Amino acid sequence: MSEEQAALVRYRLGEAKETLEEARLLARESRWRRALNRVYCAMFYATLALLAVRQLASPRHSGVIALFHREFVRPGLFAREWASYLDIAFYLRNRSDYQNFVTPDTEAERLSQQFLTQQNE
């Protein structure tokens, strides 16, 4: 891995860590819409770091997720169960952030709590 590539991986992982801490702070205040957004973004940044190891990228979130599935999930390098968290978070975050009159429901709250709890272990 080149130094530039390694620097990008470190940068993306730093973003993921910082964003995950933001999610924790928001969850403590039961601000589920923003916590869900931050949980998804933390997952997304970590996925970008993983793709950077293989020098892969996409300008679209859906493209990043598709690359992740193609390169890491389908070959069995990453558990499908964990990959489903990214898929669900992407769906819920899009619904919550971009559709009118939608507030995070109990599924979004549960996902945020479950993901944040597992990150503490």
Q: How far apart are CA 65 and CA 110, in angstroms?
A: 22
| pLDDT confidence of residue 51 | 98
Q: Does an H or E element contain 101, and which? A: none
The string of pLDDT tens digits covering residues 75-120 is 999 999 889 989 989 988 888 778 777 776 666 666 666 766 666 5
Is the CB of residue 93 less than 8 Å from the CB of residue 4? no
The residue ranges of every structural domain in the chain are 3-120
Round to whole Å and give the CA distance between 48 and 51: 5
* Residue-wise pLDDT tens digits, 27-81: 889 888 888 899 999 999 999 999 999 999 999 999 999 999 999 999 999 999 8
- Report whether 109 contacts 10 (CB < 8 A): no
Tokens of 39: 């949980």
What is the Cα–Cα distance from 86 to 90, expressed in whole angstroms? 6
| CATH 1.20.120.330 for the 3-120 domain, yes or no | yes
